[in-house]
Amino acid sequence: MQKPLSRTLFAISALSIVTSLFGAGCLALPQRQGNQNATTTQALPKGAVIIYVEDGCSHCAIVESKIKNGLVDKKISITFKEVSNNLDNAREMISKAQTCNILETNLGVPFLWDGQTCYVGQDKILDYIDLRMKEFNK
pLDDT digits (tens, 9 = 90+) for 35-67: 444 444 356 777 899 999 999 999 999 999 999
| 77-135 pLDDT tens trace | 999 999 999 999 999 999 999 999 998 888 999 999 999 999 999 999 999 999 988 87
Task: Give residue 45's pLDDT.
Answer: 75
| 3-47 pLDDT tens trace | 343 443 344 455 445 444 444 446 544 333 444 444 443 567 778
**32: amino acid identity, one letter:** R
Task: Give residue 47's pLDDT.
Answer: 84
Q: Which fold has domain 5-136?
A: Glutaredoxin (3.40.30)
Task: Give residue 104's pLDDT.
Answer: 83
- Residues with Cβ within 8 Å of 17's Cβ and at least 6 positions away in sequence, in order, are 94, 104
Task: Give residue 71's pLDDT.
Answer: 82
Closest CA to 138 of 74, 60, 57, 75: 75
Q: Are strands 118-120 and 111-113 parallel, antiparallel or unpaired?
A: antiparallel
Instruction: Tell whether the torsion through CA atoms of 37, 38, 39 and 41 is positive or negative.
Output: positive
